[in-house]
Amino acid sequence: MEDFKVLQAKIAQYEKENKELKLRLDELNDFVENAALPLHWVNAEGIIIWANQAEFISLGYTKEEYVGFPISNFHADQEVIQDILYRLTNNQTLLNYPARLLCKNGDIKHVLINSSVLWRDDKFIHTRCFTRDITPLIKEQERKAQLIDDLEQNETKLKIAIESTSLGTWEWNPKNNSLFWSNECKHVFGYPVAEQITFDAFSDLIHPEDKSRVIKAMYDSVEPASDETHNLTYRIHRFDDQGLRWIKVQWKKSYKTDRYASLLIGTTLDITDVKHAEEKSAKLAAIIDSSNDAVISKTLNGIITSWNDSAERTFGYTAAEIIGQPILKLIPPDLLQEEVQILSRLSKGERVNHFETRRITKTGQLIDVSLTISPVKDRDGKIIGLSKIARDITEKKQAEQRKNDFVAMVSHELKTPLTALTGYLQLLLIRSKKGGDEFSVKSLIRAEAQTKKMVSLIHDFLSLARMEEGKLQIERREVELHPLMVEIAEDAKFLTSQHTIKLIDCEEIIINADRDKIGQVLMNLVSNAIKYSPEGGLITLGCEKQDGKVKIYVSDQGIGISPADQKRLFERFYRVNNNGIKTVPGFGIGLYLVSEILRYHGSEIVVESEEKVGSVFYFYLRTLN
């Protein structure tokens, strides 16, 4: 009985203890279920058999979507979960094993997994895993890595930029007076790259006249009040060759500890070339301003971009009035076409020299100008604009006019008595021939030839004066070439006894030309052939008929002309500078007239010549038969 009572008491005790144990287990279950730490259990097949609320919340799945599914479905890296399962089934404990889990919304969660296995009777029951979310930590790490990456990239970019501009960099600590120079900075100062620079060594390199200004500016900028970027341009004498250079520095304070700058950080650039270019362009600008010629520049579209004082005096517009305006304002309406032609020549890179034309002033007055126009090119040779130098030649033109009037008048006055003289000479000649006075006949023939020479010279002067005035008239008619050539040949025979004059193949050719003027051309060529063949020889006047035109030539066996002189022969007043022919009289206008008269006939004079062998001058005219 006693035993029964004891047993009953023990049972009651067990029941009480069992109840308490159950209560604690429930509490534990509740605690585990609602723990803040995500927990899950996985069986030997890798299937999730249980997970707590925190796990669902953390990954976003419901119990139905999560429990009963393979744990590998929720891992981003399959090798990782396979390794975890392998380790656990081999009874290893995992401590802070990093993994990436897939959330329901597609996010990836970085976690650290801690796990152990529940074994019972040597049998794998299930794993017990809890995970710690370290996503914010990883994100922060990634952000930092990106920042460092960006910083490194920016630094590289800055380095490349600095190197490509030959920009030197420097740092100066005013407290301990230590100075640092980049290699490029040392290059600027010609300082050895391997050597450390000191502030004293640096100040010794500054030009004596700039030194105190530079040092003061640097010390002043250390003061708390100054916070801007400082700029300074000064001269230095390079360390290696003492060469004078202009440099430009820029710097800013860098605060590290207190309100006083602990560091000045700056750049250095060698601007000697820029300075020289500035000086050069200032000199040029001064020259342009003081020039007596109007110097104007304009864009390719004809908009005026610069205008000097002389342009103002010549055209009456001030720079303020005309810059930005079209150049057409200065061109008389009837000459607008001229501008188009000039532009086309310039666009080929040609320069237009001393081109005489007219322009219009602000008051509407027409002035004569001589223009020199050149293309303005950039560094790559591309034409970016035009510069015009205009000289007012109104006065010169008027003087020329007076001279031409004078020459025309004098020539005319001379011609009248000469015509009378020729008439009397011819009368006397007839008489002498009749009287059989040999000496008089010869003398009179000579006198007549000389008079003709004089007439033709005066003729040339008159033509020149008329031509310059633009008054030379060409009166074309049907002209039989042969009689004209015979006339010239006959006249030529009077001029010389030393030369043989021959005429070939000019019969039956009719040309459309001004007979007198073509006669003047031929007479000039023939008298040159005589003048410049001092040894005598054969002079040929000839024609070669070709389809629709005739080549007319005059050849001689004289001194010939060098290739260099051949190019300039037809310029006004050009005479060959040759000792052998210094005594030959002439004014250098004959060939100029020849080329101009032929130009009026739509033709051109050509020369072929060899020194000491002879010359041939020829031109083509259209034939009418």
Q: How far is the CB of 356 from ligand ADP (least distance, A)?
A: 22
Give the nearer residue to ligand ADP in terms of CB position, either 375 or 590: 590
Taking CB under 6 A as the rule, which mask of x and - marks residues 517-556 in contact with ligand ADP?
A: -------x---xx--x-----------------------x
Q: Considering the rule CB under 6 A, would residue 569 count as an interface residue with ligand ADP?
A: yes
Q: Choose one: 264-272, 390-398, 443-451, 584-592; the region binding ligand ADP (CB under 6 A).
A: 584-592
From residue 109, how far is each of 96, 102, 113, 146, 505 by CA, in Å?
A: 15, 7, 12, 20, 112
DSSP state of 249: E
- Smallest separation, CB 426 to ligand ADP (Å): 27
Q: Which residues on neighbouring strands pair with residue 553, listed in sequence order?
A: 542, 618
The answer to whether 94 contacts ligand ADP (rule: CB under 6 A) is no
Of residues 353, 358, 345, 391, the one with CA closest to residue 373? 353
Should residue 297 be labelled a site residue for ligand ADP when binding is judged by CB under 6 A? no
Q: How far is Cα of residue 61 from the mean position of the Cα atoms in its chain? A: 69
Rounded CA Rg of the chain: 55
591 binds ligand ADP (CB under 6 A): yes
Instruction: Select 511 or 576, whichever has its Cβ closest to ligand ADP.
Output: 576
Distances (CA, A) of 511 to 506, 525, 624, 625: 11, 19, 5, 8
Is residue 575 part of the contact set for ligand ADP (CB under 6 A)?
A: yes
Residues 527 and 496 sit within 8 Å (Cβ to Cβ): no
Q: Specify the stretch interacting with ligand ADP by CB under 6 A; choose among 388-396, 440-448, 469-477, 588-596.
A: 588-596
CA distance 625 to 622: 9
Q: Which of 240, 236, 266 is nearest to 253 (CA)?
A: 266
Binding flag, residue 576, ligand ADP (CB under 6 A): yes
Distance CA 23, CA 292 (A): 118
Please, what is the minimum distance in Å from the beta carbon of residue 567 to ligand ADP?
12
Helix axes 394-435, 438-469, angle to 10 degrees: 160
Check residue 479 for interaction with ligand ADP (CB under 6 A).
no
Contacts of 219 (CB under 8 A, 6+ apart): 174
Token pair for residue 592?
């100029």
E strand or H helix at 323: none
Judged by CB under 6 A, the stretch of 73-81, 348-356, 507-515, 571-579 that binds ligand ADP is: 571-579
Would you say 243 or 588 has its CB closer to ligand ADP? 588
Shortest gap between Cβ of 595 and ligand ADP (angstroms)? 9
Does 580 interact with ligand ADP (rule: CB under 6 A)?
A: no
Half-sphere exposure of 148 (CA within 13 A, CB side): 6
Q: Which of 184, 615, 620, 623 binds ligand ADP (CB under 6 A)?
A: 615
Q: Between residues 519 and 590, which has the closer beta carbon with respect to ligand ADP?
A: 590
Minimum distance of ligand ADP from residue 295's CB (angstroms): 36
- The angle formed by the CA atoms of residues 240, 245 and 251, to the nearest 5 degrees, is 105
Question: Which of 559, 597, 605, 621 touches ligand ADP by CB under 6 A?
Answer: 559
586 touches ligand ADP (CB under 6 A):
yes
Based on CB atoms, which residue is closest to ligand ADP, 246 or 592? Answer: 592
Give the range of 48-56, 217-225, 281-289, 570-578 binding ligand ADP by CB under 6 A. Answer: 570-578
* Nearer to ligand ADP (CB atom), residue 314 or residue 528: 528
Distance from C-alpha of 74 to C-alpha of 46, rounded to nearest angstrom:
11
Number of residues engaging ligand ADP in binding (CB under 6 A):
21
Question: Could you tell me the two tokens for 25?
Answer: 């287990």
Query: Of the two residues 543 and 576, which places its CB atom closer to ligand ADP in the complex?
Result: 576
Judged by CB under 6 A, the stretch of 131-139, 345-353, 544-552, 582-590 that binds ligand ADP is 582-590
SS3 content of the chain, % helix, strand, coil (to 5): 45, 25, 25
Examine residue 509 and tell whether it contacts ligand ADP (CB under 6 A).
no
Residue whose entry in the numeric block shows the structure tokens 């605690």? 31
E strand intervals along 333-446 = 352-360, 366-377, 383-392
Nearer Cβ to ligand ADP (124/574) = 574
Rounded to the nearest whole angstrom, what is the least distance from the CB of residue 571 to ligand ADP in the complex?
Answer: 9
Question: Helix H segments across 470-586?
Answer: 481-495, 515-531, 563-568
Residue 558 near ligand ADP by CB under 6 A: yes
Query: What is the closest distance, in whole angstroms, from the C-beta atom of residue 584 to ligand ADP in the complex?
Result: 7
Ordered alpha helix ranges (H), 503-607 = 515-531, 563-568, 590-600
- For ligand ADP, the closer of residues 392 and 556 by Cβ is 556
Residue type, 93: T
C-beta closer to ligand ADP: residue 164 or 577: 577
* Partners of residue 189 on adjacent β-strands: none
- Give dist(CA 55, CA 38) in Å, integer: 4
- Per CB under 6 A, does 588 bind ligand ADP? yes
- Closest residue to ligand ADP, judged by C-beta, is 586
DSSP of 11-27? HHHHHHHHHHHHHHHHH
Q: Is 391 in the site for ligand ADP (CB under 6 A)?
A: no
Min CB(475)–ligand ADP separation in Å: 24
Find the part of the chain contacting ligand ADP (CB under 6 A) among 244-252, 464-472, 495-503, 572-580: 572-580
Q: What are the DSSP calls for 218-247, one per residue?
A: HHHTTSTT--S-EEEEEEEE-TTT--EEEE
Smallest distance from ligand ADP to CB 530, Å: 9
Beta bridge partners of 537: 499
Question: What is the torsional sign of CA 476, 477, 478, 483?
Answer: negative
Q: Which is nearer to ligand ADP, 117 or 501 (CB)?
A: 501
Task: Report the nearest approach of ligand ADP to the CB of residue 333 (Å).
Answer: 38
Q: Contacting ligand ADP (CB under 6 A), which of 52, 552, 590, 601?
A: 590
Dist CA 415 CA 459 (whole Å): 8
Q: Which of 190, 206, 274 is nearest to 217 (CA)?
A: 206
What is the closest distance, in whole angstroms, from the C-beta atom of residue 555 to ligand ADP in the complex?
A: 9
- Nearest CB to ligand ADP, comparing residues 41 and 570: 570
Which residues lie near ligand ADP (CB under 6 A)? 524, 528-529, 532, 556, 558-559, 561, 569, 574-576, 581, 586-592, 615
